[in-house]
Chains A and B, each alone.
Chain A
């Protein structure tokens, strides 16, 4: 750990951008999140937020900073050994998805483009354990890694103006869930009754960077049952501690 060659760049007057090698890789993600925890444990309230992405961290301070002082301090923190002082806890979340035709409006298109049956698409999509690299694009939108190469499908040339909340979709090499109704160009293969973003609750999104996601197919009847429970706040999402 902590042995990557990082670059530290000033990003405007009150932020530092830290970059790892230009790759999407789980070892890098682990190091990014580890460094993030170390920064959060070391720096005081003058840090407004530490934001992570695939291979970068953004440290935003609450005022203009002297980069020539802040960057050496960050480098020092990267090299420090925190031992067992930091506990990183990841979870695996199981997400029900209804892949039936009423939701999977682009299954046909993907089937044709990739020369697969609909059943094969559903099987290949529900099989892997996906890694949550980070959240972005929309509140509660998870950037997931681990989509089977057989399912890689170009985005729709003409994005839809309205994609339903909960739509499960494939865009290029990625898969994801639309947390809310929004425009979008990804291919829609199903819908989940689970709410990925609820701004009024204390934890607006259950998942965070480093967690794992697995989808499992449900029939429309079960989808409706779960949706009803979710709407009355009576559904508890299955999860377990992930030590991958």
Chain B
């Protein structure tokens, strides 16, 4: 068991998402930076779909009430175990009574905490990913308890860390494919979309990232059609909206670009005021 002593701004349990229910209008959800989440599980020898804790901008203070192994990946939030600094991307042994806390955010925006065997939280429709209206809670609150299976380490085992290249956090380049409605844009619009630098607006969350700069738009809405995480929509007022993991299943705005999976992970580590360029 892990007890939440202090909750961060937005922390939630996630796995690789809720698959196969999109025809009912249910979003995928799942870890925003799937690469970092997979890494955390891989370091511990977990299954790739084991549930991890995703922390946004600020970390939680967590008290462990059992023995286990943990691994932190993604954003570096100056983590401490019992007030002693620890690092990301390494196996860390935790004993019952240990307190994990976080300090200043140094790189990235989302940190992942994996525990040996994964968090054993409520599973709804095949997934532990929290989502409002589907799971009982959609974010961690103070006092919450997270179940996990305790894991006693073998004596004398040395754990290897992994060298992780976090440079994808800092990449301004967001790799894209043309979206289904890209061809409806004028040459000038296409050029602007692919050459300008765009700033992430304060409206960014697990559902979508809006961009500040507008793209003059004369396109009509489309007949409502499927959208995916990574779809870039263009609204009638010229707003660009990059859909993320919790996005709706269908939309009525032209889909001008589609991010690569890797680009979704990169964007998930960015925050308000940072800039991106589509390539």
- Scan residues 192-244 of chain A and give those whose CB is less than 8 A from a CB of chain B: 197, 199-200, 204-205, 208-209
Contact with A along B190-225 (1 / 0, CB 8 A): 000000000000000000000000000000000111
Asked whether any CB of chain A lies closer than 8 Å to the CB of B160, the reply is no
Q: Which of A50-58, A94-102, A109-117 lines the interface with chain B?
A: A50-58
How far apart are the CA atoms of A136 and B223 in the complex, in Å?
13
Contact with A along B252-264 (1 / 0, CB 8 A): 0001001111000
Q: A12-B260, A199-B124, A205-B24 known; A51 and B177 CB under 8 Å?
A: no
Q: A49-B22, A135-B24, A199-B134 known; A11 and B223 CB under 8 Å?
A: no
Contact with B along A11-45 (1 / 0, CB 8 A): 11111010100111000000000000000000000
- Chain A residues lying within 8 Å of B255, measured Cβ to Cβ, are 11
Q: When the two chains form their complex, are residues B223 and A204 in contact, meaning their CB atoms are under 8 A apart?
A: no
- Chain A residues lying within 8 Å of B135, measured Cβ to Cβ, are 199
Q: A58-B226, A139-B134 known; A51 and B23 CB under 8 Å?
A: yes
Q: When the two chains form their complex, are residues A138 and B261 in contact, meaning their CB atoms are under 8 A apart?
A: no
Q: When the two chains form their complex, are residues B19 and A49 in contact, meaning their CB atoms are under 8 A apart?
A: yes
Contact for A22 among B223, B230, B249, CB less than 8 A: B223
Interface size, chain B (Cβ < 8 Å) = 32
Asked whether any CB of chain B lies closer than 8 Å to the CB of A180, the reply is yes
Q: A199-B125, A200-B124 known; A13 and B261 CB under 8 Å?
A: yes
Contact for B250 among A19, A49, A53, A140, CB less than 8 A: A53
B129 to chain A, nearest CB (A): 12
Q: A13-B177, A53-B226, A137-B250 known; A204 and B24 CB under 8 Å?
A: yes
Q: When the two chains form their complex, are residues A204 and B26 in contact, meaning their CB atoms are under 8 A apart?
A: yes
Q: A53-B225, A55-B223, A137-B250 known; A12 and B26 CB under 8 Å?
A: no
- Give B residues with C-beta under 8 Å from A: 19-27, 124-125, 133-135, 177, 179-180, 223-226, 228, 230-231, 248-250, 255, 258-261
